[in-house]
């Protein structure tokens, strides 16, 4: 009896392992048919938090306010410069600062950030990943909530600008991520439909923009998402690095 029971258990275990192997293989082999890859800037292509934090703390010092830890400032990144400044002034995510103080702070931040914006560096293997995607025939676009006067100098200084057919900044249009307008704009410029593009980002803002637009969304685990992990069922794929997108696209 013991032998029969053991054999049945082994048989069940074998069936489970075969099913698990098939399931994992099917997951790995899932492909997304797209013609263009849209990529977020801050926290996805380039590690910008150190330079942003320095500019923010210089801004706060000019207003006689205490400095903020870089990790906290990184948690505030992702929804554009104005939102970042508001959060750093109030220490809250959804509180409006005094209008006069905000105006002074924004002017100060822009002045300080202009001095160091080009010092930020791409994450490891980003250049090689963009080259690989481009060589595989995918058209590339950069979509960011960063103001244009900072976006283009940063991409150029990082030697990334050459890979992008289209760059859309936070002030290119009236609305930015999480609204879908920037994605629609890129699709129009490239002559593509939303189901022919995938967005790669690092935050819930990117996920919301992609879902609002109706395009695919991949996320990377590093970057700035207010210290929160993005749930697997909220995205089409979670990749450890931009280059991994190649394994999921055709």
Residues 6+ away with beta carbon under 8 Å from 26: none
CATH number attached to the domain at 32-47+121-248: 3.40.50.1000
Cα–Cα distance, 170 to 37 (Å, whole number):
18
State how far the Cα of 150 lies from the Cα of 157, in Å rounded to an integer: 11
Confidence of residue 225 (pLDDT cuts 50, 70, 90): confident
pLDDT in tens, 150-177: 999 999 999 999 999 999 999 999 999 9
- Whether 205 has a pLDDT exceeding 60, the answer reads yes
Q: Read off the pLDDT of residues 35-76 as tens digits, 9 standing for 90 and up.
A: 999 999 999 999 999 999 999 999 999 999 999 999 999 999
At CB < 8 A and 24+ separation, what contacts does 184-190 make? 184/213, 186/36, 186/38, 186/141, 186/143, 189/141, 190/35, 190/36, 190/139, 190/141, 190/165, 190/166
Whole-angstrom Cα distance, residue 158 to residue 214? 30
- What's the confidence (pLDDT) of residue 11? 58
Sequence spans of domains, the chain: 32-47+121-248, 49-118
Pairing of strands 46-47, 237-238: unpaired
Q: What is the dihedral of CA 40, 44, 47, 52, to 10 degrees?
A: 40
User: Which CATH class for the 49-118 domain?
Assistant: mainly alpha
**Catalytically active residues, by annotation:** 40
| Residues 154, 47 contacting (CB under 8 angstroms) | no
């Amino acid at each position: 009896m013991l032998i029969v029971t053991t054999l049945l258990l082994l048989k069940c275990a074998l069936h489970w392992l075969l099913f698990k192997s098939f399931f994992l293989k099917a997951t790995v082999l899932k492909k997304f048919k797209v013609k263009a890859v849209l990529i977020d800037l801050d926290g996805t292509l380039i590690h910008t938090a150190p330079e942003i934090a320095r500019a923010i703390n210089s801004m706060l010092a000019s207003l006689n306010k205490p400095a903020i830890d870089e990790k906290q400032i990184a948690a505030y990144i992702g929804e554009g410069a104005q939102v970042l400044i508001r959060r750093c002034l109030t220490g809250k995510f959804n509180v409006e600062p005094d209008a006069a103080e905000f105006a002074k702070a924004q002017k100060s931040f822009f002045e300080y950030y202009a001095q160091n914006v080009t010092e930020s560096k791409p994450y490891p293997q980003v250049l090689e990943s963009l080259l690989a995607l481009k060589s595989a025939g995918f058209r590339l676009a950069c979509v960011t909530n960063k103001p244009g006067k900072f976006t283009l100098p940063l991409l150029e200084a990082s030697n990334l600008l050459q890979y992008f057919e289209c760059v859309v900044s936070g002030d290119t249009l009236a609305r930015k991520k999480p609204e879908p307008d920037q994605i629609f704009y890129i699709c129009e410029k490239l002559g593509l439909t939303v189901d022919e593009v995938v967005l790669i980002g690092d935050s819930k803002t990117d996920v919301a923009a992609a879902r609002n637009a109706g395009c695919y969304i991949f996320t990377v685990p590093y970057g700035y998402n207010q210290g929160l992990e993005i749930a697997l069922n909220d995205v089409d794929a979670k990749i450890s690095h931009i280059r991994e997108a190649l394994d999921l696209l055709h």
